Homo-oligomer: A and B are copies of this chain.
Amino acid sequence: MDVEQFRQAGYAAIDRICDYYISLDAKPVSSSVQPGYLAPLLPTAPPDEGEDFATIAADYDRLIQPGLTHWQHPSFFAYFPTSSSFEGILGDLYATAVPNPGFNWSCSPACTELEAIVMDWSAQLLGLGSAFHNAAGVGGGALQTTASDSALIATVAARERFLAAAPVKLDDLVLYVTTQTHSLGLKAGRVLGLRVRALEVCHEDRYSLRGDVLRQALEEDKAAGRHPFMLIATVGSTSSGAVDNLPEIEAVLKEHTEVWLHVDAAWAGIALCCPEMRTALFLDTINAAADSFCTNFHKWGLVNFDASTLWVRDRKSLTSALDITPPFLRTAHGDAGTVTDYRNWHLALGRRFRALKVWFVLRGFGVEGFRKHIRQGIALNAMFGALLKESDILALITPPWLALTVFRLAPPHLGLDAAALNQLNAAFFARLAVRPDLAITQTVLNGVFCVRFAVGAARTTEAHVRAAFDAIVEEARAALVLWESIA
């Protein structure tokens, strides 16, 4: 493909993206293809001769589009939002046009310098204090792929800090999470081969980790000769939006300063951009006590996947854990220590130029535009919660919070026991899961099968939320009718 062919194919791609977003609302939210749909439609080997891009693009429309689930659809309420933006698309386009592996400052100075700056902009947007700012030169932040990646990096840094002070056996280390921590906690333990202890949380505390549970676990493990080295606390859990009690945790960890506190706010942390949310999200404690903090701009934060922001209080905790500098990677600036080489701030060597899309989004929306998007998500969720409270067959599991509502079908007139209620709700959810007009997902909270409703897509309006609620009520009634007919 030469430059002029690229120009035509590029214009066509832009037009296709415009068409996509114009028609998005009318598409089914989820793909309805069956497993294995694609292989019979494609050759089993690449072609010998190159093909025209028009043919390839037509195949994209014909074969790939039907297999996509539309995470930007205004009626996508599953998992968490992936609220991308046109600014984010342009950022990825500009970046992929000048690809470079970005491992050293000298690979492309703009990549490293812009990343350091947008991380500071993001820190200010969220209210993170100067301890986490790159410009202050002590702590700092970098873009990672995902919150799992960020948590894994933090865990490596925490392990190395602990072992540097107390060289114990790896098999005696313990990583703390809670039973509501995202799978990133268990996965970090699995990847690193370390023991993980999931601390109990309960419904009465809204699934939030309390200080006394942590204190007791620390005392038990230490008495047994084990070494808890890190707690992954959560601000806004996946299942229910739970916020661990950071002030209580801070008080306990003051007596156990060797324990690294990582705060995973993958989804909810973005809401820190709104000053009115900062108390409930324990910003002061994060600023005072977190060793590391993560939130994902690619969830609720309008930046196209992937853009996970990870900050640490002490940048040396990363570089002393991760720095490997073979001769072929040495540079004059790196040797002089006058630049940041981001290869030592993450697990791999190469890294993409993700800073550009963050920069485009923060400038394109501005702080006020960004806040408006977050506040709209919170308002839409509150509206959904209000509709739900009026229902006589649906019940909230936890109060609507941020942009997430967890609920279930709970018909008082049937007098079902816990197991039967779970079965009824599984049947109810199965009906919701196959609807083409919305996407929604489930969870299990301490044995209780629930449905999660997560808003936050950039194009979602009150009408979409209301239509989703109506669909949910319709399926709830149908599930009840079927249940009673076979009871």
Contacts and interface: CB of A to CB of B under 8 A. Distances in A.
Contacts of A191: 156, 192, 322, 347
A35 B338 CA distance: 7
B6 A347 contact: no
A2 to B, nearest CB: 8
B99 A93 contact: no
A21 B46 contact: no
Contacts of A252: none
A216 interface: no
Interface in A197-254: 238-239
A15 interface: yes
Nearest to A323: B190
A398 interface: no
A17 B22 contact: no
Interface stretch (A37-45, A279-287, A475-483): A37-45
A152 interface: yes
A326 B186 CA distance: 10
Nearest to A170: B170
Interface stretch (A348-356, A381-389, A408-416): A348-356
A10 to B, nearest CB: 3
A5 B85 CA distance: 12
6 contacts: A3-B22, A36-B338, A38-B109, A46-B367, A53-B364, A149-B348
A21 to B, nearest CB: 6
A277 interface: no
A365 B52 CA distance: 9
Contacts of A47: 362-363, 366-367
Given A16-B94, A46-B363, A186-B326, 13 more contacts: A1-B364, A6-B17, A9-B86, A10-B17, A14-B14, A20-B98, A31-B109, A38-B110, A48-B366, A79-B101, A88-B99, A93-B96, A101-B146
A108 B68 contact: yes
Contacts of A367: 46-48
Nearest 10 pairs between A and B by C-beta?
Answer: A67-B110, A10-B14, A92-B96, A327-B444, A38-B113, A6-B86, A50-B366, A170-B170, A99-B305, A148-B348
Interface of A: 1, 3-7, 9-11, 13-18, 20-22, 30-31, 33, 35-39, 42, 44-51, 53, 55-56, 60, 63-72, 79, 82, 84-90, 92-94, 96-101, 105-111, 113-114, 116-117, 120-122, 124-125, 135, 145-149, 152, 156, 159-160, 163, 169-171, 182-184, 186-187, 190-193, 238-239, 298, 304-306, 321-322, 324-330, 332-333, 338-339, 347-350, 352, 356, 359-360, 362-369, 430, 433, 441-444, 452
Contacts of A356: 60, 64
Contacts of A14: 6-7, 10-11, 13-14
